[in-house]
Amino acid sequence: MKQFDCELVGKVGSMALIDKKRNALSYDTVARISADLRPGDIWVTSGAVEVGRLDYIKRNGCEIEGDDESVKTDYSAQGQTVLMNTYRQFIDPKYSVRQILVEHQHFNDPEKRAHLHALLSRSMHQGAIPIINYNDAVSCEETRNLEIRNLKAKSAHVVQCVDNDETASQIACLMKAETLLIMTSTEGIYLDSKDKSTLVPVIGGKDIEELIKNVEYHQTLCEGASRKGANGAYAKLEYIKEPLKNGTTVIIGSSAYTIRELLSGIAPRTIIKTN
């Protein structure tokens, strides 16, 4: 029986997509990612809110004023169009590209979960590359929190999708991915986040129990996040525990490298798997 249904689920973070010198979407980064994407790969992209914010400032010379929830909604709706247009521009034109926007209920409701699984499975067989993002544009935080509380009253295990690290990990579980690649603005997990020479190349274990214990040790060393609202390396290591239990190999590395460089080990990275 086939152990894995999908070779690769990948994810890139918001700040990993931004050219900090130009304060704009890094077309080089999207092009580098897109060049390696093939049917059978599933890509989760963050960045809609930040890209939308930068695009709005570029066109209007100022930021949107208002409450945080409304501003986030407006930026996300604007940024989605920029992101998808850019991925479509750089992905090989012989492949179809499909945008899929998800929310927490797509993982917590069995019927919606099955529907999402079927959609992604068809995409792989139809030569299409799914580009997934959390649906910030229509997700109201107050309503979402109420729904999550109600779900927690009924079940101990509830998917919240508070950021796309969790979304990507859940997609990896849903599709039984062989590899989960998380691209960030750093080269992986560090013993000391302030000392880049302390990059941890491998987090391993003789079995899943030892592996999870070693992941939890490295969580104690994590601090900080790349942007407001992000949860940083600690949360990444928390979310990947479920895919690891399914036998998925997890790789965390920088978006400065290509997907293939990170998968092959040519580029610096942290790889997390049983020995």
pLDDT at 15 over 50: yes
- pLDDT for 82-131, tens place per residue? 999 999 999 999 999 999 999 878 888 889 999 999 999 999 999 999 99
pLDDT band for position 274 (cuts 50, 70, 90): very high
Furthest CA-CA distance within the chain = 57
Neighbours of 140 (CB within 10 A): 12
State pTM to two decimals.
Answer: 0.90
What integer pLDDT is reported at residue 69 of this predicted model? 87
- CATH architecture entry for 6-272: 3-Layer(aba) Sandwich (3.40)
pLDDT at 4: 85
Burial class (CB in 10 A: 0-12, 13-18, 19+), 207: exposed
The confidence score (pLDDT) of residue 129 equals 97
Distances (CA, A) of 140 to 29, 70, 71, 145, 272: 30, 9, 12, 9, 34
Say yes or no to pLDDT of 151 above 60: no
Q: How far apart are CA 30 and CA 10, in angstroms?
A: 13
Structure confidence at residue 150 (pLDDT): 63
- The C-alpha atoms of residue 117 and residue 35 are separated, in whole angstroms, by 25
- Mean of pLDDT values over 165-170: 93
